[in-house]
Amino acid sequence: MNQFEGAQLQLGRALKVQHISDGLRARLLRPERELTVAIPVTMDDDTTKIFEGYRVQYSSLRGPYKGGIRYHPDADINEVKALGFWMTMKCAVADIAMGGGKGGITVNPRELSKRELEALSRGWVKALYRDLGPEQDVPAPDVNTTPEIMKWMANEYEKLTGDKRNATFTGKPLENGGSEGRGIATGAGGFYVFETLRKELGLPEEVSVVIQGMGNVGGNAAKIFAEHGHKILAMSDSKGGIYAEDGLDPDAVEKYKKEHGSLKGFPNSKQISNEKLLELKCDVLIPAALENQITKKNADKIKTKIVLELANGPTSTDADDVLFKKNIPVIPDILANSGGVVVSTFEWEQNLKNEHWSEKDVLTKLRTLLNRESKNVFDMSRKLKTDLRRGAFALALTRLDKALEAKK
Q: Min. distance of Cβ 328 from ligand NAD in angstroms?
A: 20
Distance CA 216, CA 181 (A): 12
Q: What residues numbered 238-297 form the site for ligand NAD, per CB under 6 A?
A: 238, 274, 288-290
CB nearer to ligand NAD: give 289 or 328. Answer: 289
Backbone dihedral region for residue 63 (phi beyond 0: left; psi -120 to 50: alpha; all else: beta): left
CA dihedral 196, 197, 199, 204 (to 10 degrees): -100
Q: Min. distance of Cβ 16 from ligand NAD in angstroms?
A: 26
Question: Is 164 one of the annotated active-site residues of the chain?
Answer: no
Could you say whether residue 173 binds ligand NAD (CB under 6 A)? Answer: no
CB nearer to ligand NAD: give 156 or 237. Answer: 237
CB nearer to ligand NAD: give 18 or 315. Answer: 315
CB nearer to ligand NAD: give 119 or 210. Answer: 210
Among 237, 283, 320, 373, which residue sits at the site for ligand NAD (rule: CB under 6 A)?
Answer: 237
CB of 232 closer than 8 Å to CB of 255: no
Among 6, 134, 173, 215, which residue sits at the site for ligand NAD (rule: CB under 6 A)?
Answer: 215
CB nearer to ligand NAD: give 200 or 251. Answer: 251
Among 340, 345, 391, 400, which residue sits at the site for ligand NAD (rule: CB under 6 A)?
Answer: 340
Q: Which of 107, 183, 175 is nearest to 140 (CA)?
A: 183
Number of shown-chain residues binding ligand NAD (CB under 6 A): 21
> Of the listed pieces 92-100, 117-125, 199-207, 306-314, which binds ligand NAD according to CB under 6 A?
306-314
CB of 180 closer than 8 Å to CB of 362: yes
CB nearer to ligand NAD: give 129 or 192. Answer: 192
Q: Min. distance of Cβ 76 from ligand NAD in angstroms?
A: 16
Could you say whether residue 214 binds ligand NAD (CB under 6 A)? Answer: yes
CB nearer to ligand NAD: give 21 or 238. Answer: 238
Q: Min. distance of Cβ 332 from ligand NAD in angstroms?
A: 12
Could you say whether residue 309 binds ligand NAD (CB under 6 A)? Answer: no
Q: Which of 365, 342, 403, 373 is nearest to 96 (CA)?
A: 342
Could you say whether residue 213 binds ligand NAD (CB under 6 A)? Answer: yes
**Residues facing 39 on adjacent strands:** 51
CB of 371 closer than 8 Å to CB of 192: yes
Q: Min. distance of Cβ 197 from ligand NAD in angstroms?
A: 18
Instruction: Report which residue type is found at 400.
Output: L
Distance CA 88, CA 276 (A): 34
Q: Which of 122, 126, 187 is nearest to 148 (CA)?
A: 122
Could you say whether residue 170 binds ligand NAD (CB under 6 A)? Answer: no
CB of 388 closer than 8 Å to CB of 329: yes
Q: Min. distance of Cβ 204 from ligand NAD in angstroms?
A: 26
> Of the listed pieces 248-256, 304-312, 323-331, 394-402, which binds ligand NAD according to CB under 6 A?
304-312
Q: Min. distance of Cβ 218 from ligand NAD in angstroms?
A: 6
The residues of the shown chain that bind ligand NAD, judged by CB under 6 A, are 143, 186, 212-218, 236-238, 274, 288-290, 310-312, 337, 340
Query: Which residues are tagged catalytic?
Result: 102
